[in-house]
């Protein structure tokens, strides 16, 4: 199968929020993301490694009941969870078959993951992928 031009391009995450100012506080102060200048009203971009996250105002913010953004952080998971917790991030605990909860981290074999929500209820995942 031939690779399409689209398959060679980077993708970015887009996260809807109700209040951009409140979202900026969360993404910049709690998550420590650096804003990227944008010229669009109601939009804020952030660099996360070599990826970009777009946060934008939308009437549909918080309606997704699934993970919106995933960070594969490898062996840095525990340090990142501790840092986020120190900044007041509250972690979600889910009852998932085959998974045990160790503090705020769900464990299934070698996989270790955690979830938390932004102020609009968008679900964010961090794991040792």
pLDDT digits (tens, 9 = 90+) for 61-71: 989 999 999 99
Q: Is residue 20 part of a domain?
A: yes
**Which pLDDT value is given to residue 97?**
95
User: pLDDT of 10-60, one tens digit each?
Assistant: 889 999 999 999 999 999 999 999 999 998 999 999 999 999 999 999 999
**Which pLDDT value is given to residue 1?**
64
Q: Is residue 102 part of a domain?
A: yes
Domain count, the chain: 1
Which CATH number goes with the domain that contains 115? 3.10.180.10
**Closest residue by Cα to residue 102 from 86, 73, 117, 111:** 111
Residue 7, pLDDT above cutoff 90: no
Q: Where are the alpha helices (DSSP H) in 1-129?
A: 20-24, 77-86
**Closest residue by Cα to residue 58 from 122, 12, 11:** 122
Work out the angle at residue 42's Cα, subtended by the Cα atoms of residues 39 and 43, and round it to the nearest 5 degrees.
60
Work out the angle at residue 111's Cα, subtended by the Cα atoms of residues 89 and 98, and round it to the nearest 5 degrees.
100
Q: What pTM does this model have?
A: 0.90
The whole domain housing 77 covers 11-127
* Helices vs strands, H then E, count in the chain: 2, 10
Q: Is residue 86 part of a domain?
A: yes
User: pLDDT of 75-98, one tens digit each?
Assistant: 999 999 999 999 999 999 999 999
Residue 2, pLDDT above cutoff 70: no
Q: Is residue 2 part of a domain?
A: no
Q: Is residue 79 part of a domain?
A: yes
Q: Is residue 81 part of a domain?
A: yes
Q: Is residue 96 part of a domain?
A: yes
């Amino acid at each position: 199968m031939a690779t399409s031009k689209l398959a060679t391009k980077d993708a970015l995450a887009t996260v809807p929020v109700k209040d951009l100012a409140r979202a900026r506080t969360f993404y910049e102060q709690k998550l420590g993301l650096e804003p990227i200048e944008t010229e669009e009203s109601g939009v804020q971009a952030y660099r996360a490694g070599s990826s970009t996250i777009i946060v934008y105002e939308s009437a549909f913010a918080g309606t997704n009941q699934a993970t919106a953004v995933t960070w594969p952080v490898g062996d840095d998971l525990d340090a990142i969870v501790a840092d986020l917790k120190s900044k007041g991030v509250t972690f979600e605990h889910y009852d998932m078959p085959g998974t045990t909860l160790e503090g705020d981290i769900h464990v299934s074999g070698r996989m270790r993951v955690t979830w938390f929500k932004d102020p609009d209820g968008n679900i964010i995942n961090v794991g040792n992928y």
